[in-house]
Amino acid sequence: MKLPAGIDRISLDRAFEATDFYPPLGFYPFAEYELGNGDTFGLYWPFGREQQEPIVGELRHDEWRLAPVYSKLDVFLGVTEPLEEDEYPEPPPLDRDPDSPFACFAGAQEELRAQRVDAAVALLERAVGVLPEYTEALNALGAQYIRLGRYEKACRVAVQAIISPPCFGARPVKLLRWFAAQKDVPSALEHDPVAAIRGGLRLVFGGSKENSDYPQLLEAIERYVEQSELLKAVTLMQTYGELMSAETVAFQERYGFKAADFKMRQVELSAGLPGGPRKLMR
């Protein structure tokens, strides 16, 4: 994966390996401004962008979230270097980091409150342009595409939102319901495995002994692999791994989920990505 300019100015943990699926594959923490409670900043390479400079994410471990706050490391360094030791970096405003996915999403929310839909859509498109698996922004973008009658785009966004991981936002339940109600899908999605199972998914997890979504998502992963759509396969594996890791041990055993084996296969498949594998050389 491509290291960013300014890499020598941070203490990057190149040997970092998450014990499960959170933080997501492709995240590497650094020591600067680490709080000591599990919250830390780190470099994150969006799936499929391994040969581009990473964004800087803020790991919020109590929330199981990775906030995509800075578009590049040099922006992070420019914001933080004037700070005192006891000061904690705040997410940059849009005028300071116009490509920050987090700032773009926040700006879009403001535009929507003011009923400026086109401006909001432009910001949401910019957010997912930088971070394609930004689940929260995909949810919002899909809703606005539906509002504007851009149904083909809404279908495409729905698939991407479904395969995108929980660490970037809640499951797109409302978007799925709309998608499942569509009789036809765009021709580009006619053979898409997630589009094919849209009517059988609920995207509701936890609190039950059985959940038919898991075998359907697992089958979709295998179909993506068969179709050589490794980017979608590896992304959906991240989502599946995060969701399954939040279930009880008994539930995981019932579904034959072994985190170490599943993650090893995810890493192996990532080697087939144009910029893969999603691991730094030590």
Strands ordered across the beta sheet of 27-29? 27-29, 40-44, 55-60, 65-70
Does residue 50 fall inside a structural domain? yes
Residue 282 has pLDDT above 70, yes or no: no
What's the confidence (pLDDT) of residue 145?
A: 98
**What CATH number is associated with residue 229?**
1.25.40.10
Residue 169 has pLDDT above 70, yes or no: yes
User: Higher confidence at residue 62 or residue 182?
Assistant: 182
Does residue 22 fall inside a structural domain? yes
Lowest mean pLDDT among 2-16, 110-124, 209-223, 239-253: 2-16
pTM for this predicted structure: 0.96
Does residue 279 fall inside a structural domain? no
**What average pLDDT does range 24-47 have in this prediction?**
92
Does residue 25 fall inside a structural domain? yes
Give the confidence band of 22 by pLDDT, cuts at 50, 70, 90: very high
Does residue 281 fall inside a structural domain? no
What's the confidence (pLDDT) of residue 30?
A: 95
Residue 233 has pLDDT above 80, yes or no: yes
Residue 153 has pLDDT above 70, yes or no: yes
Does residue 32 fall inside a structural domain? yes
Q: Which two tokens stand for residue 212?
A: 């038919």
Does residue 180 fall inside a structural domain? yes
Does residue 94 fall inside a structural domain? yes
Give the whole-angstrom CA distance, residue 256 versus residue 240.
Answer: 13
Strand partners, 55: 44
Print the domain residue range for 216. 7-270
Identity (one letter) of the amino acid at 34? E
Contact 278, 10 (CB under 8 A): no
**What average pLDDT does range 124-150 have in this prediction?**
98
Averaged confidence pLDDT in the chain: 95
Q: Find the helix or strand (DSSP H, E) in which 66 lies.
A: strand 65-70
The structural domain count of the chain equals 1
**What average pLDDT does range 173-180 have in this prediction?**
98
Nearest to 146 by CA among 191, 194, 181, 102: 181
Lowest mean pLDDT among 5-19, 72-86, 164-178: 72-86
